[in-house]
Amino acid sequence: MRIVLIGFGTVAQGLAELLLSHLENGALDISDWRVVGISDTLKGSAYHEGGLPLRRVLDMVGCGQSLSSVADWGTPWNALTMIEHADADVVVEATYTDIETARPALDHVRAAIERGMHVATTNKGPLALAAKELTKLAAEHHVSLRYEGTVMAGTPLLNLIRGPLAGSRITEMRGILNGTTNYVLSRMEEGLDYSGALAEAQELGYAEAVPNADVLGHDALAKVAILAATVFGASIPLAEIPCRGITGITREKVARAAASGRRHKLLGRVWRENDRVRASVGPELIGREHPLAAVHGAGNAMTVVTEALGEVTIVGPGAGRRETGFALLNDLIHIQNHR
Amino acid sequence: MRIVLIGFGTVAQGLAELLLSHLENGALDISDWRVVGISDTLKGSAYHEGGLPLRRVLDMVGCGQSLSSVADWGTPWNALTMIEHADADVVVEATYTDIETARPALDHVRAAIERGMHVATTNKGPLALAAKELTKLAAEHHVSLRYEGTVMAGTPLLNLIRGPLAGSRITEMRGILNGTTNYVLSRMEEGLDYSGALAEAQELGYAEAVPNADVLGHDALAKVAILAATVFGASIPLAEIPCRGITGITREKVARAAASGRRHKLLGRVWRENDRVRASVGPELIGREHPLAAVHGAGNAMTVVTEALGEVTIVGPGAGRRETGFALLNDLIHIQNHR
């Protein structure tokens, strides 16, 4: 299986490290996998039909050297040129997320599918804005489109729904989809005020300097849209999903909730109501005895409500280099098993 | 896909109801599935190549009528005769569990595999005692052996491990595998003493009149052996796994644990230690902030520790007619997709 990596930031490097580790210890049979191309606007581009030397590539990128500078396999190709010219089976799209336009990732995913290549991506943009269109396009071209890492990083929520929970009839999903806000709320329960907890999250690298995407709920919103499309086949414009963040939660509210045995959690929610699919993002009060209430710090969790099983909850990491890289690895395993 | 049901108790009836429901609403494409044979020592036997009328079968069994009495498709066949004579693709083994000898279920599973039929089972006996032998036998005969319902009922733990978590390198699993004891411990935290909590569990139908299999840890022990075989390929005799139940837990111990922010949980555990696979069952103290501590009442949960993701925890039902029937349905879906 020949793989092209579009975008070679943290997540794609996490994948490359996992691939190297598995190639070395042989626990997973991926000996015929080759990363033949890499294209990154900052780190340069490389292409070699026989496969690129991943260890050396990682070392170069670690030292700030451009991949394009290598005589044997450096290229000047940008992402789209790489997708057009590479002789490959799968494109991994892991460039930055733009939740307004989904560009340029959306163009990359479309181009790859139209060339008949499978796609694995961690990029929330294309799926939050165009999951339905892309799923249809992939079906028309008989290729797989996998995006486990767009929701809950490598915690296998989407694969759980599509595989082991198939046939259980999902009626609702609700969960903690943003680790930064969950960290802030957890620390507020321990006595910090909002700005103190947020500053701490920023120091730890959980929150950006401009934390709006997290604290206003926009990150969770994108994931909720992806779930609506994946679980219920519903294409809901982001602007139509009610979305509140955690900026209105005060230390006093947190203390009052605790006194009544409850916790504030920023919940993303998708459910069926009569014939419509509805979705929302906002802080909700949860009884302390529910599994979602037990998710502390930067963790993520999702409760899937099914007719056959009642509630099933999965708890796991929601971010991280290796954790999100693993989502791509699992997508690639699925593509290999089903192509 | 032609299916034979060996054992038609609660779980197999739960499966039959799910099949009927899916055949009626068409959400799942199982229109070419047929239950062609049923054999149960109490409820009688039936066989019809074109498929048995499930609604009528369920009604008859509900009214205590023997299936063998129907002229068109009643038969005198016992389980082994059914397996030998039925023209079928899959055998569902759901007779009673015998954890000492695994009989007669072990004979049913062996016979089905040797006739080249796939097997889906909820019976812990054959898997706890002979998972390695049966897995090998199934591979030799190129058939699937699926047993999702032997651990955590329909909560898809085994399918999660075999599918979405493949490649994450599991180093340890620990969890709550017995709902009865978890119910008793939960109620003891609320102030009941051991015998009061147990009596309540018996009234609710969670615990048997002779509750030894639950309270001494034997039920969890069988599941731990199944996990050791499934996850690590290790065949550990039950007698070699340290096993303690909850009979030594007093209300005072529970109160002391609560005062220090911890909870007693009966944990089944499997892990790698150097080159060995180890396992244990026994009560352990868990910090109140861990997802396993948030499992109350008769629920089950498992924390899977992986190199790629750290801890991933799945929480869900551990028993129930429909819940365990769903495990079989999911096994059948898997068999259909992979045969």
ipTM: 0.93
Put simply, the answer to whether A315 touches B316 (Cβ < 8 Å) is no
Task: Share the mean pLDDT of chain B.
Answer: 95
Q: Is A33 at the interface with chain B, CB within 8 A?
A: no
pLDDT at residue A205 in the model: 87
Task: Share the mean pLDDT of chain A.
Answer: 95
Q: Is A308 at the interface with chain B, CB within 8 A?
A: yes
Which residue type, as a one-letter code, is found at position B132? K
B172-193 pLDDT, tens digit per residue, is: 999 999 999 999 999 999 999 9
- Beta pairing partners, A2: A34
The position carrying tokens 């205590």 is B64
Give B263 to chain A, closest Cα distance, Å: 13
pLDDT at residue A338 in the model: 87
Which residue type, as a one-letter code, is found at position B291? P
Element (DSSP H or E) covering residue A132:
helix A124-140
pLDDT at residue A17 in the model: 96
* Higher pLDDT, residue B79 or A168: B79
Q: Are strands B262-273 and B170-176 parallel, antiparallel or unpaired?
A: antiparallel
Interface probe, candidates B314, B321, B328, chain A, greatest A C-beta count within 10 A: B314
3-class secondary-structure state, position A256: helix
* Higher pLDDT, residue A314 or B208: A314
Q: Is B323 at the interface with chain A, CB within 8 A?
A: yes
B55-107 pLDDT, tens digit per residue, is: 999 999 999 999 999 999 999 999 999 999 999 999 999 999 999 999 999 99
pLDDT at residue A322 in the model: 94
Rounded alpha-carbon distances, angstroms, from residue B134 to B90, B152, B277: 15, 21, 20
Confidence of residue B209 (pLDDT cuts 50, 70, 90): confident
Residue A77 CA to residue A37 CA, distance in Å, equals 10
* C-alpha torsion B59→B63→B69→B73, nearest 10: 10
Catalytic residue chosen out of the listed positions B43, B124, B223, B265: B223
pLDDT at residue A32 in the model: 93
Chain A: residue nearest B320 by CA? Answer: A309
B11-45 pLDDT, tens digit per residue, is: 999 999 999 999 888 778 899 999 999 999 999 99
Confidence of residue A166 (pLDDT cuts 50, 70, 90): confident
> Residue B31 CB: number of other CB atoms within 10 A?
9
Give A324 to chain B, closest Cα distance, Å: 9
The closest of A274, A292, A291, A271 to A283, measured between CA atoms, is: A292
- Which residues of A are designated catalytic? 223
Question: What radius of gyration, in Å, describes the C-alpha atoms of chain B?
Answer: 20
Confidence of residue B210 (pLDDT cuts 50, 70, 90): confident
- % of residues, chain A, pLDDT over 90: 91
Nearest to B164 among A159, A308, A323 (CB): A159
Q: Is A305 at the interface with chain B, CB within 8 A?
A: no
* Higher pLDDT, residue A200 or A210: A200
pLDDT at residue B207 in the model: 86
A27-61 pLDDT, tens digit per residue, is: 788 999 999 999 999 999 999 999 999 999 999 99
Q: Buried b vs exposed e over B41-71: b needs ≥16 C-beta within 10 Å?
A: eebbbbbbeeebbbeebeebbeeeeebbebe
pLDDT at residue A255 in the model: 93
Interface probe, candidates A168, A288, A324, chain B, greatest B C-beta count within 10 A: A168
A64 token code pair: 């700030």
3-class secondary-structure state, position B313: strand
pLDDT higher than 80, residue B300: yes
Q: Is B146 at the interface with chain A, CB within 8 A?
A: no
B137-164 pLDDT, tens digit per residue, is: 999 999 999 999 999 999 999 999 998 9
3-class secondary-structure state, position A62: helix
- Beta pairing partners, A47: A37
pLDDT higher than 90, residue B171: yes
B1 token code pair: 């896909």
- Find the DSSP H helices in B74-172: 79-85, 105-114, 124-140, 157-162
Residue A227 CA to residue A205 CA, distance in Å, equals 26
Put simply, the answer to whether B166 touches A28 (Cβ < 8 Å) is yes
Confidence of residue A210 (pLDDT cuts 50, 70, 90): confident
pLDDT at residue A214 in the model: 95
Q: Which residues contact B121 (CB under 8 A, 6 or more apart)?
A: B92, B93, B94, B105, B109, B127, B145, B146, B147, B149, B150
pLDDT at residue B168 in the model: 87
From chain B, the residues in CB contact with A148 under 8 A are 164
pTM of the complete model: 0.94
pLDDT at residue A23 in the model: 86
Confidence of residue A291 (pLDDT cuts 50, 70, 90): very high
pLDDT at residue A209 in the model: 84
Nearest 5°: CA angle at A283, between B303 and A229?
70
A75-130 pLDDT, tens digit per residue, is: 999 999 999 999 999 999 999 999 999 999 999 999 999 999 999 999 999 999 99
* Chain A from 72 to 131: CB within 8 A of any B CB: none
Q: Is A231 at the interface with chain B, CB within 8 A?
A: no
Interface probe, candidates B309, B321, B334, B335, chain A, greatest A C-beta count within 10 A: B309
